[in-house]
Chain A
Amino acid sequence: MTVLAALAACKPPPQSRHIGDQSTMARGKQVIAQAGCGACHEIPGVAWPRGKLGPSLMNYDDIGFIAGSRPASIATLATFVRDPRSVRPDSTMPAMPISEADARAVATYLYGQDDD
C-alpha cells in the first residue's frame, strides 16, 4: 500500500517529444510517402522504401541536432527539409519540392515518433 502510494506520487517523466495534432502528423506521413523521402532515408512508420543513402531517421525524436549543426526545432527542420543547404551549406541532401506547410507537417511527424 505504501509502495502504491509512493508510486502514485511520482511525477510522470518530462515530455521529451513534440506531439503534433493527429491531422498534422497524418499529413506529415502522407507527404513523406508522396515525396519519396524513403528513397534515401529509413523513416519510422514508413515500410517502403527504406533507403540507405541518407542517414536513418529512426529515433529522430532523440536527436539533439539537425544535420549535426543546429539545435532541434520544428521550424529549423522544416527549413532544412525544403532547402538543406540554407541550414548546412555542405549538406548532400537536395532541396525537396514541397510547400512550407507540408515541410512543417513532415518535421512534426519526425519529432512526434516515439520508437524507442
Chain B
Amino acid sequence: MIDAVWGWPPPVLDPAGPYADSVTLLAWVLFGLGVFVSGVVVVALWIAVKGSPGLRAKLGGEHAVWIGGIAFPAVVLVALLVWGLLLTASLTRPISGEEMRVRVTGEMWWFRVAYLDPAGNTEMLDANEIHIPVGHPVVLELESADVIHNFWVPNLSGKMDMIPGRTNLLRIQADRPGQFGGVCAEYCGGPHALMGFVVIAHEPEAWNQWVAARRARLQAASSPPAGAAARGRALFMDEGCAGCHRVAGTQANGLAGPDLTHVGSRATLGAGILPNHRGTMMGWIGDSQSIKPGNRMPRYDMLSAEEIEAIAIWLETQR
C-alpha cells in the first residue's frame, strides 16, 4: 500500500515521453562520443609511446592535426551545438493555445502549483503535485518567489531554472500513466535536498474524473465536519495554521505555506519526501523540523497527540 513516494528519487535514464526522449538520446550520444574520443586518445598515446616509427610520424604529421585536431572537433561540436539549441527550443517553445497550462512557483522549499485556464487565469491551486493527462503536452510556466530554483522531472523533460522576476517555459509530456518524481536541481539553501514534487499522469478517463472531482470540491459548500475532524478544524483555525495555509471553502486563507485544499488526496507530504498517511501527517504537524530541518513551519509539539491527530483527521478529509 505504501507506494506513494516511488518515483522518488526519480530515475534519470527512463524517459516516459517525447521531451524526455530527446534529452535522453542526446545524453547517450554525448556519452558515446565521450567514450569514442577517449578511445582515440588512448590509441594515440599508445602509438606515441610504443608505435612503429612510421605510425609515430603519421601521428605527428600535419594530416593528423588537421583531421583529428581541427576538422573532427569543429564538425562534431558545431553539430552538437545546433542539435542542443534545436532541442532546447523544442522544450521551451511558446504556448500555442492547445496545451494545458500550469504555473509552478519555486518557494523555499516546496513548489506552488496553479492550474491555469486558456486565458491564463488561475483555476485551481495545489502544491508539490502536478496532475496531467497522458499523451498531451503540458506547458509549465516556471517562476520563483525567492531565490533561483530548478525544476527537473527527469522522466518527462529536461531541467529548467526558476528565476525570480522571470517566467521560463518548459514542456512536459507523459506517454504512459504513472507517478514521476521531480526535484529542485539548483541549490537553494537549507533543506534544498528535501525539495521535491511528483507529477501524476492519468489515462484520459481517470483524468476527466480527476478534473471533475476537483471542480466539485471547489463548488461544494464546505459541510461542517463532525467529531474529531470538527475539533481538528477548530484547532487548525485557532493554533495559527490558517495564518500560513489556505483551505478553499474555509476562512483559512494564508499564502505563506502550501495550499492545503486537496492535501488529503496528495501522494506525498513535505514536498515529495514522505508518503502521505496519518502517521507521517502527525509527525509533520508535530515536529516538521526533525524531518526537514530549516523549513519554515515551526514545531507544534506543544499540542497534545490527540490535538495533532484531530488536525490530521480533518486534513485527511480535504481532498
Contact = CB atoms under 8 A, between A and B. Distances in A.
Given A36-B279, A54-B283, A94 B309 contact: yes
A115 B100 CA distance: 53
Contacts of B274: 36, 39, 49
Interface string A64-100: 0000000000000000000000000000111111110
Nearest to B292: A49
Interface of B is mostly: helix
A97 B267 CA distance: 13
Interface in A13-46: 31, 34-40
Interface residues of A, number: 23
Contacts of B282: 39-40, 53, 94
B291 A98 contact: no
A97 to B, nearest CB: 5
B283 A51 contact: yes
Interface residues of B, number: 26
B2 A52 contact: no
A88 to B, nearest CB: 13
Given A36-B279, A39-B280, A99 B1 contact: yes
Contacts of B306: 92
B284 interface: yes
Given A94-B282, A98-B1, A51 B275 contact: no
Nearest to B277: A97
A94 B287 contact: no
B283 A36 contact: yes
Sorted nearest first, the 5 A-B pairs with minimum C-beta distance are A39-B283, A92-B305, A40-B283, A94-B278, A53-B286
Interface of B: 1-3, 5-6, 269, 274-275, 277-280, 282-284, 286-287, 290-292, 301, 305-306, 308-309, 312
Given A36-B283, A98-B2, 11 more contacts: A31-B2, A34-B6, A35-B280, A36-B5, A39-B291, A53-B286, A53-B287, A54-B283, A92-B309, A94-B279, A99-B1
14 contacts: A34-B2, A36-B269, A36-B277, A39-B291, A51-B291, A52-B290, A53-B286, A92-B309, A93-B279, A94-B277, A94-B279, A96-B279, A97-B2, A99-B1
